[in-house]
């Protein structure tokens, strides 16, 4: 096993350790940084009886809003951190009959959804798949039905090396690495790169569609 493979194999444990403490303060601290989440939810297809899976669902912030808005959607949350899922479970208890939570690593060949889904959502999770974001996007492609969509909001880049290094200490890579891979797999419907805190960093809002001619692997 080479160094990259060893790092990938160790990543679930790294995230478990990181969120063992951060899960307690996540919702009261991250709101000031996680721009675009509500906008992304508004950009999702507004159709009845859709299936949606959120990868890296954290404490359930997005799933709770979606469960309130769409009583006929079936929602699945996937996260590698048991501590984050514990909080999501409490937040989503009123919707437990139609929201399902899974403690799993997500990536190519690691885990796939039992049924093809209409939407795969990544909200500030892909930039923490280091390594592995390409595999997660590829697995989302496989899990989506033809015509289904991927929805992503995440950090994009920063002109400041010190800020990039500081984010790296928090397991976030922000070098504009997501967009080329997303555009390679999906037909963009919304693609926005927006400034945050006066340009300290930029974040990405992306909604793309899996071509209907695709054949699932």
State the angle between helix axes of 3-22 and 82-91 in degrees (0 to 180), rounded to the nearest 10: 40
Work out the average pLDDT over 6-26: 52
Site of tokens 């929602």: 75
67: domain CATH number is: 3.40.50.150
Instruction: Classify residue 199 by its DSSP letter.
Output: G
Quick one: pLDDT at residue 194? Answer: 97
**How far is the first Cα of the chain from the last one, in angstroms, to the nearest whole number?**
26
- Rounded CA separation 75/64 (Å): 10
Q: Is the pLDDT of residue 8 over 80?
A: no
Does some domain include residue 101?
Answer: yes
Determine, yes or no, domain membership for 217: no
The answer to whether residue 216 is domain-embedded is no
Cβ-in-10-Å burial (0-12, 13-18, 19+) of 138 comes to middle
Number of domains observed in the structure of the chain: 1
pLDDT above 90: residue 52: yes
State pTM to two decimals: 0.86
Whether 61 maps to a domain, the answer reads yes
In-domain check, residue 214: no
The boundaries of the domain holding residue 44 are 3-209
The pLDDT score that the predictor gives to residue 23 is 46
């Amino acid at each position: 096993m080479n160094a990259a493979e060893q790092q990938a194999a160790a990543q679930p444990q790294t995230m478990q350790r990181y969120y063992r403490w951060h899960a307690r303060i996540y919702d009261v601290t991250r709101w000031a940084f996680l721009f675009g989440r509500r906008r992304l939810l508004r950009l999702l297809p507004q159709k009845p009886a859709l299936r949606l899976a959120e990868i890296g669902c954290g404490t359930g912030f997005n799933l709770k809003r979606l469960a309130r808005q769409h009583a006929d959607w079936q929602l699945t949350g996937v996260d590698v951190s048991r501590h984050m899922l514990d909080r999501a479970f409490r937040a989503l208890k009123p919707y437990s009959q139609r929201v399902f939570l899974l403690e799993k690593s997500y990536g190519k060949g690691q885990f796939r959804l039992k049924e093809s889904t209409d939407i795969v959502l990544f909200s500030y999770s892909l930039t923490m798949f280091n390594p592995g974001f390409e595999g997660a996007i590829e697995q989302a492609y496989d899990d989506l039905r033809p015509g289904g969509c991927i929805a992503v909001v995440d950090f994009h880049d920063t002109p400041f090396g010190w800020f990039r290094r500081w984010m790296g200490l928090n397991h976030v890579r922000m070098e504009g690495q997501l967009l080329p891979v997303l555009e390679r797999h999906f037909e963009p419907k919304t693609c926005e790169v927006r400034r945050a805190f006066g340009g300290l960093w930029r974040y990405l809002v992306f909604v793309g569609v899996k071509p209907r001619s695709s054949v699932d692997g």
